A = this chain, B = another copy of it.
Amino acid sequence: MLRSTFSWSGVFFVLAAGAPGSAQAAPPKTMAEVLAAAKPTDWRPLDPENTLLMELASGQVVIELHPAFAPRHVANVKALVRERYFDGLAVVRVQDNYVAQWGDPEAENLAERRPLKRAERTLAAEFTVPLAAGVPFTRLPDADGYAPEVGFSNGFPAARDPAAGRAWLAHCYAAVGAGRENDADSGGGPELYAVIGHAPRHLDRNVTVFGRVVEGIERLSTLPRGTKAMGFYAAAAERAPIRRIRVAADAPAAERPALQVIRTDTETFQALVESRRNRRDEWFKAPAGHIELCNVPLPVRPQEGAR
């Protein structure tokens, strides 16, 4: 069996079971078993004030926001949504194994692009936040190549650099960020993207990430790939129109997604991670002994008793 390259890292998960003859030890669980045994408090609801509902022709994409990592961007994206900036705009770019991006197809054309009301067109970058800001963080003991420490912050994959005193959201599958031009401060919200491929972690600390698709990512990941450079659509007819985006708090209660997201600061979540770090499902013959940040599942389920 493979010995982990990372046994040096010092933080090591000790198997709670497996020693023959140790009668007390509980057997290791599969993820299904961990979730079946989870308590109601192992789940959390979405906060309607920090949830966006994006409607495409194929249905709804639910995006959770994490204002602690990008307070100005989250406020501005919500301002854009509330002044109906995105309604009638489109997904303009889908690059295979990379990102889907949406915004104003006329954004290149200053004269044509959609005017703003109270929202800002650009904002100063929020690529990272100071550790001193105290955003929650539950460390994943597994080593990572892109950051000294990785883990989860309220259900979002995140990273930290204690020496630099900074934390940031990681570009895992389904991460949502604010596109920008070459100028670091040229983002802000009018152009957004979601990761639909292998985690482009080299974008970490280079773009403001502020959200995560918690339901409906397949409505973006199955869109036709654009044939122009970087996956932009060649013709207007190819774009995927955005019917509207709403803040969930502004939708009638019956239209808010009745979803619960796994909490990442619990013993249940630690057990879930271990169930995936070393798969014990009968199918697996060689447990990995390691799990990469973006391979940790973040289960979402219908709220108990929801319609």
On A, residues with C-beta under 8 Å from B are 1-6, 8, 96-97, 127, 142-148, 161, 163-164, 172-174, 181-182, 184, 197-202, 204-206, 217-218, 221-225, 276, 279, 282-286, 288, 290-292, 294-295
Are A144 and B5 in contact, with the CB atoms below 8 A? yes
A156 vs chain B, min Cβ distance (A):
16
Are A288 and B143 in contact, with the CB atoms below 8 A? no
Are B182 and A283 in contact, with the CB atoms below 8 A? yes
Are B2 and A205 in contact, with the CB atoms below 8 A? yes
Are A145 and B197 in contact, with the CB atoms below 8 A? no
Are A217 and B5 in contact, with the CB atoms below 8 A? no
In the complex, what residues of B have CB within 8 A of residue A184's CB?
A: 285
- Apart from A1-B164, A199-B295, A200-B295, 20 more pairs, CB < 8 Å: A2-B146, A2-B161, A3-B161, A3-B163, A5-B143, A5-B144, A5-B147, A8-B8, A96-B221, A97-B173, A97-B221, A127-B285, A142-B145, A144-B145, A145-B290, A146-B292, A172-B198, A173-B198, A198-B294, A222-B225
Number of copies: 2
From B1, B161, B288, give the contact of A146 (CB < 8 A): B288
Per DSSP, chain A at the interface is loop
A236 vs chain B, min Cβ distance (A):
20
A1 vs chain B, min Cβ distance (A):
8
For this complex, 6 residue pairs linking A to B, each with C-beta atoms less than 8 Å apart, are: A8-B8, A97-B217, A142-B145, A146-B290, A202-B276, A205-B286
A36 vs chain B, min Cβ distance (A):
15
Q: Report how far A8 CA is from B282 CA in the complex, Å.
A: 36
**Among the interface residues A199, A201, A292, which one has the most CB atoms of the partner chain B within 10 A?**
A292
Q: Report how far A290 CA is from B221 CA in the complex, Å.
A: 27
In the complex, what residues of B have CB within 8 A of residue A200's CB?
A: 295
In the complex, what residues of B have CB within 8 A of residue A1's CB?
A: 164
A293 vs chain B, min Cβ distance (A):
9
Q: Which residue of B lies closest to A283 (CB)?
A: B182
Q: Which residue of B lies closest to A284 (CB)?
A: B206
In the complex, what residues of B have CB within 8 A of residue A182's CB?
A: 282-283
Are B218 and A279 in contact, with the CB atoms below 8 A? no
Q: Report how far A157 CA is from B205 CA in the complex, Å.
A: 26
A281 vs chain B, min Cβ distance (A):
9
Q: Report how far A199 CA is from B288 CA in the complex, Å.
A: 13
Q: Report how far A147 CA is from B1 CA in the complex, Å.
A: 11
In the complex, what residues of B have CB within 8 A of residue A217's CB?
A: 96-97
